[in-house]
Amino acid sequence: MSSMIPTLMTLAADAVPAAPAAVSVVDLVKAQLPTLITIGAALGAVLGAVSYLIYVERKLAAFMQDRIGPNRVGPWGLLQPIADGAKFILKEDVIPAYVDRALFLLAPCIAALTTMLAFAVVPFGPVDNAPSFHRFVIVPNVDIGIVFIFAIGSLAVYGIILGGWASNNKYSALGSLRASAQVISYEIPLGMSVLGIALLGGTLNLEKILMNQAIGGIGSWYFWTQPLACLIFFVAALAESNRLPFDLVECEQELVGGFHTEYSSMKFALFFLAEYTHVITISFLTVILFFGGWHFPGIAEPGTAGFGPMLLKLGVLMSKVFAVIIVIMLLRWTIPRFRFDQLMGLAWKVLIPLSMANVVAVMTVLQFGWSTWWLTLTSVGLFMAAGFIGVQQAQVALNQGTRRAKSKDHGPVAHAH
């Protein structure tokens, strides 16, 4: 028995894992260097893009309204974003005495942080043959990438709600309440619109969805088989980012300034940064999910390696994203703002039923092994049916309103007895 004790002690010592070797700070930095470089490049690109997208939108607004736009600071006004940034930094940081100070300061930070964090899993370049020192996605190979973006993006509404509540202002509170109803309503069709793509591609990984389209060619872009889902996604994403014609959260005519009425200087700039970052994110998602990402036949093909093909793929992706952003900006001066009842009706009566019908159609096609091109005809049929029903309902409402107006003009009819 005594001879077994040393043997058991030896076995116990062997079973205990050895302490890991100490990792130096230099080795840790080297291991994380690609991630740090990617974060720095993405953050700098987003901040710079937001600054000059504001300039582009002001120029587009001037063009559509027959004006000149910013042209005083620098040649053609190109230094205007720098002047605007300096103004935000140097402006007096006013905090009203009656606000909840902690929540008042926390709200813009939450709004900006959530939109930045959602961009972490979005591939903003070719990920198949990226250089070793830099990759075009901050967090690669996330199998629930789409779910992560929707989950993080939905948290942005808390920044808006906190901003309106902490301002202790009725106008701001109304704006924040509208924001909560709007975001909750449009999150449902936004998420359901991509279920069809997840079923067709068999993944929620944005990189794999992009590669599926690139390998299959231009005919495999999901826009061709999911045009209705693309439209639903784009409309719901506009509502999520509070862009016209869905900016009921901060419509100036009704709410003075909405949830950010009491904000100024850099706190207001953070809310502005969050909105434009969200626009960039949804533009990337639209291109990646429906238009093949960096793929373009004859120019950017999968399997090509080298610095030149990498630049071509990056240029194609950025061109598509910029085109989507321009469409979003042009819509601002094309479609009038919805009423709040129209906003809610569009989500619950139109987009959600259509997205559910689209998911059922995709499941049916996959179950019976039919050609996916049947989904194109299904999308067109659903869109036409929704348009027909909408026209009929509008005609009924118009007739009812006409009858009410006529009866009101003629007044009560006296009957002789």
DSSP 31-74: HTHHHHHHHHHHHHHHHHHHHHHHHHHHHHHHHHTT---S-SSS
What is the pLDDT at residue 229? 94
- Residue whose structure tokens are 């990438």: 145
What is the pLDDT at residue 134? 65
% pLDDT > 90, the chain = 23
> Counting Cβ atoms within 10 Å, is residue 331 exposed (0-12), middle (13-18) or buried (19+)?
middle
> Cα–Cα distance between 189 and 187 in angstroms, integer?
6
On whether the CB atoms of residues 285 and 126 are closer than 8 A, the answer is: no
> Is the pLDDT confidence value at 198 over 70?
yes
SS3 296: strand
What is the pLDDT at residue 410? 63
Tokens of 252: 């100036």
337 DSSP 8-state letter: P
> Cα–Cα distance between 230 and 194 in angstroms, integer?
8
What is the pLDDT at residue 85? 86
> Is the pLDDT confidence value at 346 over 60?
yes
- Residue whose structure tokens are 């940034």: 85
> Cα–Cα distance between 42 and 116 in angstroms, integer?
10
> Is the pLDDT confidence value at 144 over 60?
yes
pLDDT tens for each residue of 279-333: 999 999 999 999 988 888 888 888 777 778 888 888 899 999 999 999 999 998 8
What is the pLDDT at residue 12? 46
Q: Which contiguous run of DSSP H or E holds residue 377?
A: helix 374-410
- Residue whose structure tokens are 């992706």: 317
> Is the pLDDT confidence value at 203 over 50?
yes
pLDDT band, residue 13 (cuts 50/70/90): very low
Tokens of 29: 């930095």
Mean pLDDT on 92-112 = 87
- Residue whose structure tokens are 């230099």: 26
Tokens of 136: 């075009």
What is the pLDDT at residue 8? 42
What is the pLDDT at residue 343? 84
pLDDT tens for each residue of 374-385: 999 999 999 999
pLDDT band, residue 364 (cuts 50/70/90): very high
* β-bridge mates for residue 296, sequence order: 300
Mean pLDDT on 39-64 = 88
What is the pLDDT at residue 285? 92
SS3 206: helix
Q: How many residues does this entry show for the chain? A: 417
Q: Which residue has the higher pLDDT, 266 or 133?
A: 266
* β-bridge mates for residue 300, sequence order: 296
The DSSP result for 118-144, as a single string, is HGGG---S--SS--TT--S-SS---TT
> Cα–Cα distance between 46 and 23 in angstroms, integer?
33
On whether the CB atoms of residues 69 and 80 are closer than 8 A, the answer is: no
> Cα–Cα distance between 175 and 248 in angstroms, integer?
8
What is the pLDDT at residue 321? 93
> Is the pLDDT confidence value at 11 over 50?
no
> Is the pLDDT confidence value at 139 over 90?
no
> Cα–Cα distance between 124 and 318 in angstroms, integer?
8
On whether the CB atoms of residues 146 and 229 are closer than 8 A, the answer is: no
What is the pLDDT at residue 19? 47
pTM of the entire structure? 0.85
> Is the pLDDT confidence value at 97 over 80?
yes
> Cα–Cα distance between 185 and 236 in angstroms, integer?
9
Q: Which residue has the higher pLDDT, 80 or 160?
A: 80
> Is the pLDDT confidence value at 415 over 80?
no
Handedness of CA 286, 289, 293, 295 (dihedral sign): negative
> Is the pLDDT confidence value at 399 over 60?
yes
> Is the pLDDT confidence value at 17 over 70?
no
Using alpha carbons, select from 160, 229, 233 the residue that is nearest to residue 200: 229
% pLDDT > 70, the chain = 87
pLDDT band, residue 398 (cuts 50/70/90): confident
Average pLDDT, the chain: 83
